[in-house]
Amino acid sequence: MIRKLYIQNYAIIDELGIEFKPGLNIITGETGAGKSILLGALSLIQGQRADTAVLKHKDKTCVVEVEFDVSDYDLKDFFQSNDIDYERVTVIRRQISDSGKSRAFINEVPVNLNQLKELSEKLIDIHSQHQNLLLGNPRFQLDVLDAFAVPREALAEFRQLFEQYRTLRAELERMQADADTSKRDFDYLSHQLNELKAANLKPGELEELELLQKQLTHSSEIKNALEFSFNSLNADEVSILSKLKEIESSLKRVEPFFPQVSPLIGRVESCRIELKDVTDELELQNARVDVDDDQLTAVSQRIDLIYSLLSKHRLAKFDELIELRNQLEGRVTQLSQIDFNLDEKRKALKQLELVLNQKADVLSKYRFNAVPKVEQYISDLLHQLGIKYAVFKIDVAPSSDFMPWGKDRVTFYFSANKQITPQELSRVASGGELSRLMLSLKSLLVKSNGLPTIIFDEIDTGVSGEIADRMGTIIHDLAKGMQVINITHLPQIAAKGDTHFLVYKSVTSNQSSTGIKLLTPDERVVEIAKMLSGEKVSDAALLNARELLKSNVGSN
């Protein structure tokens, strides 16, 4: 529950602090005094966006700080998952600087607006006057029913599955949209790949082909050079090898008496042996060289093919052609699997749809089972609130499409008069009836979701007299299980409070400022008397105020 509220430099508030109590806290004050401004400040704690328009003094920072007692609520998981120290007395603060920059803190740890909203939604519900318009909103009607009927875990599990379903369906739609384009790409890329595959390109091939082309082009010259060299070494009558043999024999004849030639003989012999090897290699190479015009033509054509492929694909290097072929092969393989991938994605989506249908059926059963109880509960409250012939009905209709909450559409129907068929809520209820309906629904909501605190901003609009007294009783009953802060203009409801605050406006130096104070028992009598009779308090009004307070103390 809220223990303390501190506001600084917000709207017409310079600075104020309030210490709220358990039970029913009543806030009253003249119109325009600033009661609803308190709710505007609290909405910052709920994560509402704000700018410098909220600053009373444009050169100062706006601060809204709320101290909550969270010891009786299971919130440790939130603090742990957000890496925030858990404190049984937790402080939430929001600051708006003069530049419009907003900062939020939970127990002095900076947090973002989503974290702020997540925690505040677990701590406080603010009913502002315009929320009566929500009664005709189908989503609000569904949320009311679900708060009573559906376990939070079941709804959270469905929403998680629905997000997976929505993501998977979007992926399938993208794949399907790309399929036609991809198939056109497949035909074009397959043609390119087949052309490159038919070329049968091998790494280093172009360099080898260009060398072979040169050799074939100059094959006659090569053969002549090889034959001339071979003949010079071995084939002629005066060949180099025969001369070396003669030199070797001549030196050996003088070796016995001139040993100095022995090393020379060895060297000549080595030269002769080496040249013999050269001669054999020349003969072998000569045999391999052919003057082959057909082969030259084939090689030239192969080279022309490679250069035409390079030009076609606007590539500079032969290796890039092989890389392109490999890339095309991978892309064509990928495209060839589109139909398979689509089928697999459709199967996965179909399987998820089956699971979602099962989960949606479970949610629907919860809702259908709860409808009679909710109808009875709301109808009973409306009867207590003076709508004697009130009929409240809930229609749960199936939808063909999945939604984040299942496959149901919920519609509230209402009739305030006997023998009038209930119609959709937004079409039939008057202002006073809307207030009583909203109080009844809020009563159901807060009992179902276990919130620590609820704030009503003139939920009693459009009622008076005995009906106001009955509304006050219901609000007070709510406050037995939770903290209720109720802003009201009605003395019958104000008298039901356990604690009573007065919001007032003071004007100094042509500036207005809002303040708030806790009323003493005597001050409270006077305030309720003013609400009964106006600014001029009569003895009768004071007596009536005391009687109201006395009777309510007895009923409490």
Give the 3-state DSSP-derived string for 149-205, with helices as H, strands as E and coil as C.
HCCHHHHHHHHHHHHHHHHHHHHHHHHHHHHHHHHHHHHHHHHHHHHHHHHCCCCCH
Q: Are residues 189 and 122 in the same domain?
A: no
Distance separating alpha carbons of residues 234 and 242, to the nearest angstrom: 7
Does 220 lie in the same domain as 120? no
Tell whether 506 and 530 lie within a shared domain: no
Q: Residue 487 sits in which domain range?
A: 1-127+452-459+479-517
CATH number (domain holding residue 5): 3.40.50.300
Residue 200 and residue 316 in one domain: yes
Strands (E) located in 299-435: 391-403, 406-415, 423-424
**Residue in the structure block whose two tokens are 């001050």:** 523
Indicate if 525 and 509 belong to the same structural domain. no
Distances (CA, A) of 237 to 233, 243, 268: 10, 10, 20
Burial of 271 (0-12, 13-18, 19+ CB in 10 A): middle
Task: Please state the domain count of the chain.
Answer: 3
Q: Is the pTM of this model over 0.75?
A: no
Domain limit, last residue, from 336, 365, 386: 336
Residues 95 and 232 in one domain: no
116 and 201 housed in the same domain: no
CA 268, distance to chain mean position in Å, is 90
Q: Do 213 and 274 share a domain, yes or no?
A: yes
| Same domain membership, residue 541 and residue 493 | no
Say if residue 310 is in the same domain as residue 247: yes
Do residues 20 and 123 share a domain?
A: yes
Beta strand pairing call for 483-487 and 499-508: unpaired
Query: Shortest CA distance to 446 belongs to which of 151, 153, 32, 148?
Result: 148
**Tens of pLDDT along the chain (556 residues)?**
899 999 999 988 889 999 999 999 999 988 777 787 888 888 899 888 887 888 888 889 999 999 999 988 888 989 999 999 999 999 999 999 988 889 999 999 999 999 999 899 888 888 876 666 677 788 888 988 998 899 989 999 999 999 999 999 999 988 887 777 777 777 788 888 888 888 898 998 889 888 888 888 888 888 889 888 888 888 766 788 888 888 999 999 989 888 999 999 999 999 989 999 999 998 898 888 877 888 888 889 989 999 999 999 899 899 999 999 998 888 877 777 777 888 889 999 999 999 999 999 999 999 999 999 999 999 999 998 888 888 999 999 999 899 999 999 999 999 888 888 888 887 766 677 888 888 888 888 877 777 788 888 888 777 788 888 888 888 898 888 889 999 998 999 999 999 999 998 887 777 788 889 999 999 999 999 999 888 788 889 899 999 988 887 645 5
Q: Any residues with CB less than 8 A from the CB of 417 and at least 6 apart, and which?
A: 389
Distance CA 273, CA 267 (A): 10
Tell me whether residue 307 is in a domain: yes
Residue 109 in any domain: the answer is yes
Strand order in the sheet with 124-127: 124-127, 453-457, 483-487, 24-28, 499-508, 511-518
